[in-house]
Chain A
Amino acid sequence: MTDRLDTVRTIEAPEGVELSLRIAGPYPRAIAFVVDFLLQGLLVAAMSLVAILGFDLGQAAVLLTFFFLAWFYPVAFEQFWRGATPGKRALGLRVVRDDGAPVGWRESLLRSFLSPVDALPVLFGVGLCSAIASRSFKRVGDRVAGTVVVYDDEHARSPVLPKAEPMHPPFALTMEEQSALVEFAARTRSWPPARAAEIADHLEPLSEARGTDGVRKLHGMALWIEGQR
């Protein structure tokens, strides 16, 4: 239902219930990548100090570090740290299977081994195109491995709806309309009031008011829908 309104992916569990996952877009994933990249850079720099100490053995250690960082850094963290590299953890992201189950070795390895394709031709161009062309922002590795990157809801708190006088909508709304109204109310806090009013004006037939009055009435209806009466 909310699929068309938001980047939520609904999965049907064998237990007969639908669970929803919030898909992470390219922007937080890019930041997570940069964080991981810097962290790996620090590790390589530290290893290079070691390399100065022992000549051949040090170089051997640096080469092996390169190898393991390049291919197994994400794999190790995804396996032993609940599906998230430090970068993803910092951004509150997590890799899960398409069905919402935790990623196994298979998925992690496939994601990692396919990253060279995603990195083509420069700056993850293929990966970005693949993500934009996909409803769940899947890079090539995600497509082949059957994984998605989602917000780790363990740490997320649902936004509080703005205070208003709860009020009954003047006519029956469909499920989708109700959920759109609640989403609108939940998000108005992050917008300037003028922008909220501008959007609310489209709903004049519902609120029978314009400007901030309209916004307040819509907030009231959202609260009513959310069960405050």
Chain B
Amino acid sequence: MKREPFVAAREARWIRLEDLLAQLRSVRRNAAPKDVAELPAAYRRVCQDLALARRRMYGRELTERLNRLALAGREQLYRLPARFAQRAIDFIAAEFPRKVREEARLFWLATAAFLVPALAVAAIALTRPDLLYALVDAEQLHEAERMYDPANGGVTELRDAGGNVKMFAFYIYNNVGIDFRTFAGGFLFGVGSLAVLVFNGIHLGAIVGHFLHIGYETTLLPFVVGHSSLELTAMLIAGVAGLRLGSALLAPGRRSRGRAMVEVAPHCLQLLVGAGGMTALAAFIEGFWSAQPLPDSVKYAVGAVLWSAVATYFVFAGRRRAA
């Protein structure tokens, strides 16, 4: 068959498909034009036309036009269904804790990478306070001291309602951003993620140890006891996401490193999205609850509830409907 009759016999069909695709692109998701049922067949026929045109060498202009049409058809045919709410509920209720349990070993590794330096530095701060300044920036430590000084009334006195919103925004910007960076650091064979965990451990150990030493714990602990449950756990999970990516690079098994990474990436992303959500929730608590001027006993009680809720969630949620 010559090129001209080939085109003449199909031109009308191609134009019809082009129209349909243009309509599909312009409408919102879910609101499909009525002849959308024609799409799969029309797309397959264009694929066939393209294969023929290539094989018979009908020229670049025609093959490029058909290639374009086939790609556009593919874009519409394979676009994702939007069932966002259901997927979000499933994720929170079952998928996320399950994913975390799947990575129990990496979770404990991340916990060790964080807690061991934290405890070591806290011990140094309590026993050899002079050595502490070799480990952390003195200026930062003094800054923290000013903020938590019981003589200033602690954190609560410094905030009004606008201050709460501002701090909430800051915690979102800073802490959730750190989660994402911790994950990205995992690409450097996991080293970046580990480093973030270790540095955070050193920093936290220094503050807590130093404050215990100078007797500021009465302002620090009631403030952090609530949100720390979510914030620290989320940081560890972000670390797990990064370590999982790094371990795919370190030990890809019987796949290429690139392939191993692409295969593990969705799993890491789910861990990271969960961690980001938890950190955002922690930011909300830190912004609007932790600095409320309430008796310490209330703060500790709420903190205990939050910590046990987090633990219960990760130990038990999503076990029944095992996939």
Residues of A bordering B, CB below 8 Å: 13, 15-21, 54-57, 59-64, 66-67, 70-71, 82, 96, 100-102, 104-106, 109-110, 113-117, 140, 143-146, 153-154, 156, 158, 178, 182, 186, 225-227
In the assembly, what is the distance between CA of A54 and CA of B64, in Å?
55
| Chain B proximity of A22: nearest CB distance (Å) | 10
Name the CB-closest residue of B to A134: B258
Report B-chain residues with C-beta under 8 Å of the C-beta of A158.
60-61, 64
CB distance B169 to A60 under 8 Å? yes
CB distance B74 to A63 under 8 Å? no
In the assembly, what is the distance between CA of A109 and CA of B276, in Å?
12
In the assembly, what is the distance between CA of A102 and CA of B24, in Å?
14
Report A-chain residues with C-beta under 8 Å of the C-beta of B23.
none
Report B-chain residues with C-beta under 8 Å of the C-beta of A115.
184
Name the CB-closest residue of A to B248: A144
In the assembly, what is the distance between CA of A62 and CA of B72, in Å?
38
- State whether the Cβ of B105 lies closer than 8 Å to any Cβ in chain A: no
In the assembly, what is the distance between CA of A110 and CA of B75, in Å?
20
Given A13-B47, A64-B173, does the pair A113, B74 have CB atoms closer than 8 Å? no
CB distance B265 to A56 under 8 Å? no
- Across the interface, A113 reaches (CB within 8 A) one of B160, B192, B272, namely B272
Given A21-B71, A64-B173, A67-B172, does the pair A114, B266 have CB atoms closer than 8 Å? no
Count chain B residues whose beta carbon lies closer than 8 angstroms to a beta carbon of A.
55
What are some 8 contacts across the A-B interface (CB < 8 A)?
A17-B50, A19-B71, A57-B165, A63-B172, A109-B269, A144-B245, A145-B265, A186-B60
6 new A-B contacts, CB < 8 A, other than A17-B50, A57-B162, A117-B188, are: A19-B67, A56-B160, A102-B75, A106-B265, A226-B60, A226-B61
Encoded as 1 (CB less than 8 Å from any A CB) or 0, chain B from 66 to 85 comes to 01101110110011100000
CB distance B71 to A110 under 8 Å? no
Report A-chain residues with C-beta under 8 Å of the C-beta of B176.
67, 71
Name the CB-closest residue of A to B25: A82
Given A13-B47, A146-B265, does the pair A60, B166 have CB atoms closer than 8 Å? yes
- State whether the Cβ of B185 lies closer than 8 Å to any Cβ in chain A: yes
CB distance A144 to B61 under 8 Å? no
